[in-house]
Structure 1
Amino acid sequence: MSSGTTTLADALEALVAVAEQAGLDETAARAEGEALAATVAERSRGAFVAWAEETGRTVSAEEFMLAAKRGNRFRAGPTPTMGGLALQKSEHAPAYARALGEVALAATLLGEPGPEAVGTATMATAAQLAEAPRTLSGPPSGTMPGAFDLPARQPVPGLGDEVLDQVRRAGEQVRQQLEAMRLGSSSPLGREDHPATTPSPSTTEASGSGVQTQSAEPETPAPEAPKEEEPTKTVEELLAELDALIGLKNVKAEIHRQAAVLRVEGLRKKAGLETPTITRHLVFNGNPGTGKTTVARLVAGIYRALGLLSKGQLVEVDRSELVAGYLGQTAQKTAEVVRSAEGGVLFIDEAYALSGDQYGKEAIDTLVKEMEDKRDDLVVIVAGYPLPMAIFISENPGLESRFRTTIDFADYTDEELASIFSLMAEGADYDAGEPVLTRLREILAEQQRGPSFGNARFVRNLLEAAIGHHAWRLRDVAEPNLEQLRTLDADDLVVDPNDPAGPGAAEPVPELVDIEPVDLEPVDIEPDDTTAQEES
Structure 2
Amino acid sequence: MNTAVTLGEALAALTTLATAAGLDPRVARAEGEALAATVAEPSPGAYLDWCAETGHSSAEDFTTAASRGRRYRVAQTPTMASLAMAGSADAAAYAHALSDVALAGSLLGEENARSIGNAATAAAAQLGAPGQASPRQSTPAREHVPGVADHFLQHVLEQSRIVRDKLAALEGTPLLHDPSVLEHTSDSGTAPTTGEPAPVQTAPAPPSSTPVEPAATAPPVKTVEELLAELDELVGLTDVKAEIHRQAAVLRVEGLRAEAGLEGLTITRHLIFNGNPGTGKTTVARLVAGIYRALGLLSKGQLVEVDRSELVAGYLGQTAMKTSDVIKSALGGVLFIDEAYSLAGDQYGQEAIDTLVKEMEDHRGDLVVIVAGYPLPMAVFIGQNPGLESRFRTEIDFPDYTDDELVEIFEVMASDAQYDASEGVLARLRDLLAKVERGPSFGNARYVRNVLEAAIGRHAWRLRETDAPTLQQLRELQPDDLAAPPVVVEPFEDTPEEQS
Task: Name the TM-score class by shorter chain.
Answer: 0.7 to 0.9
State the match for 1:15 in structure 2. Answer: 14
AA aligned to 2:382 is: I
Cα offset for 1:363? 1.5
Rate the CA distance shift 1:420–1:338 in 2: closer, same or farther, 3 A.
same
Q: In the aligned structure 2, how far is the partner of 1:75 from the partner of 1:409?
A: 23
Whether the 8 Å contact between 2:420 and 2:476 is mirrored in structure 1 is yes
Whether the 8 Å contact between 1:420 and 1:456 is mirrored in structure 2 is yes
Establish whether residue 76 from structure 1 lines up as the match of residue 87 from structure 2. Answer: no
State the match for 1:38 in structure 2. Answer: 37
State the match for 1:206 in structure 2. Answer: none
Whether the 8 Å contact between 1:309 and 1:378 is mirrored in structure 2 is yes
Cα offset for 1:270? 3.5
Whether the 8 Å contact between 1:467 and 1:492 is mirrored in structure 2 is yes
Establish whether residue 247 from structure 1 lines up as the match of residue 236 from structure 2. Answer: yes
Whether the 8 Å contact between 2:454 and 2:485 is mirrored in structure 1 is no
State the match for 1:182 in structure 2. Answer: none
Rate the CA distance shift 1:162–1:324 in 2: closer, same or farther, 3 A.
same
User: Counterpart of 1:346 in 2: which secondary structure?
Assistant: strand
2:392 aligned to 380, 388, 403, which one?
A: 403
AA aligned to 2:123 is: T
Rate the CA distance shift 1:163–1:225 in 2: closer, same or farther, 3 A.
closer
Establish whether residue 425 from structure 1 lines up as the match of residue 423 from structure 2. Answer: no
**Alpha carbon RMSD of aligned pairs, Å?**
3.2
Rate the CA distance shift 1:363–1:135 in 2: closer, same or farther, 3 A.
farther
**TM-score normalised by the chain length of structure 1:** 0.75
Establish whether residue 454 from structure 1 lines up as the match of residue 452 from structure 2. Answer: no
Q: In the aligned structure 1, how far is the partner of 2:72 from the partner of 2:263?
A: 42
Rate the CA distance shift 1:375–1:50 in 2: closer, same or farther, 3 A.
farther
Cα offset for 1:106? 1.5
Structure with the bigger RCO (C-alpha within 8 Å, sep 6+) is 2
Q: In the aligned structure 2, how far is the partner of 1:468 from the partner of 1:28?
A: 30
State the match for 2:174 in structure 1. Answer: none
Rate the CA distance shift 1:331–1:446 in 2: closer, same or farther, 3 A.
same
Whether the 8 Å contact between 1:120 and 1:464 is mirrored in structure 2 is yes
Cα offset for 1:298? 1.7
1:277 aligned to 254, 266, 269, which one?
A: 266
User: What pairs with 1:223-372 in structure 2 (closer than 5 Å)?
Assistant: 227-372=216-361
Q: In the aligned structure 2, how far is the partner of 1:474 from the partner of 1:240?
A: 40
Rate the CA distance shift 1:294–1:137 in 2: closer, same or farther, 3 A.
farther
User: Counterpart of 1:123 in 2: which secondary structure?
Assistant: helix
Rate the CA distance shift 1:55–1:447 in 2: closer, same or farther, 3 A.
same
User: Counterpart of 2:76 in 1: which secondary structure?
Assistant: coil
Rate the CA distance shift 1:76–1:497 in 2: closer, same or farther, 3 A.
closer
Cα offset for 1:226? 6.1
Cα offset for 1:275? 3.5
Size of the aligned set, in residue pairs, is 443
Q: In the aligned structure 1, how far is the partner of 2:133 from the partner of 2:230?
A: 18
Cα offset for 1:4? 4.1
Q: In the aligned structure 2, how far is the partner of 1:46 from the partner of 1:301?
A: 42
**TM-score normalised by the chain length of structure 2:** 0.80
Rate the CA distance shift 1:38–1:9 in 2: closer, same or farther, 3 A.
same
Establish whether residue 382 from structure 1 lines up as the match of residue 381 from structure 2. Answer: no
1:63 aligned to 61, 64, 73, which one?
A: 61
Q: In the aligned structure 2, how far is the partner of 1:294 from the partner of 1:5?
A: 35
State the match for 1:124 in structure 2. Answer: 122
State the match for 1:48 in structure 2. Answer: 47
Establish whether residue 475 from structure 1 lines up as the match of residue 473 from structure 2. Answer: no
Whether the 8 Å contact between 1:89 and 1:232 is mirrored in structure 2 is no
Rate the CA distance shift 1:52–1:369 in 2: closer, same or farther, 3 A.
farther
Cα offset for 1:92? 5.0
User: Counterpart of 1:109 in 2: which secondary structure?
Assistant: coil
Cα offset for 1:237? 2.8
Moved more, 47-56 or 252-261: 47-56
Q: In the aligned structure 2, how far is the partner of 1:137 from the partner of 1:80?
A: 30
Q: Structure 1: which 5+ residue stretches go unaligned?
A: 166-200, 204-213, 502-536
Q: In the aligned structure 1, how far is the partner of 2:64 from the partner of 2:230?
A: 32
Q: In the aligned structure 2, how far is the partner of 1:82 from the partner of 1:265?
A: 35
Whether the 8 Å contact between 1:432 and 1:488 is mirrored in structure 2 is yes
Whether the 8 Å contact between 1:8 and 1:103 is mirrored in structure 2 is yes
Rate the CA distance shift 1:246–1:3 in 2: closer, same or farther, 3 A.
same
Q: In the aligned structure 1, how far is the partner of 2:5 from the partner of 2:329?
A: 31
Q: In the aligned structure 2, how far is the partner of 1:435 from the partner of 1:401?
A: 52
Rate the CA distance shift 1:438–1:161 in 2: closer, same or farther, 3 A.
farther
Whether the 8 Å contact between 1:48 and 1:59 is mirrored in structure 2 is no
Cα offset for 1:444? 0.3
Q: Structure 2: which 5+ residue stretches go unaligned?
A: 144-149, 170-204, 491-500
Whether the 8 Å contact between 1:133 and 1:159 is mirrored in structure 2 is no
AA aligned to 1:75 is: R
State the match for 1:107 in structure 2. Answer: 105
Moved more, 93-102 or 344-353: 93-102
State, as a whole percentage, how many aligned pairs show the same letter: 64
Q: In the aligned structure 2, how far is the partner of 1:245 from the partner of 1:293?
A: 12
Structure of larger gyration radius: 1
Q: In the aligned structure 2, how far is the partner of 1:145 from the partner of 1:48?
A: 25
AA aligned to 2:109 is: G
1:487 aligned to 459, 472, 476, which one?
A: 476
Cα offset for 1:117? 1.1
Q: In the aligned structure 2, how far is the partner of 1:34 from the partner of 1:368?
A: 33
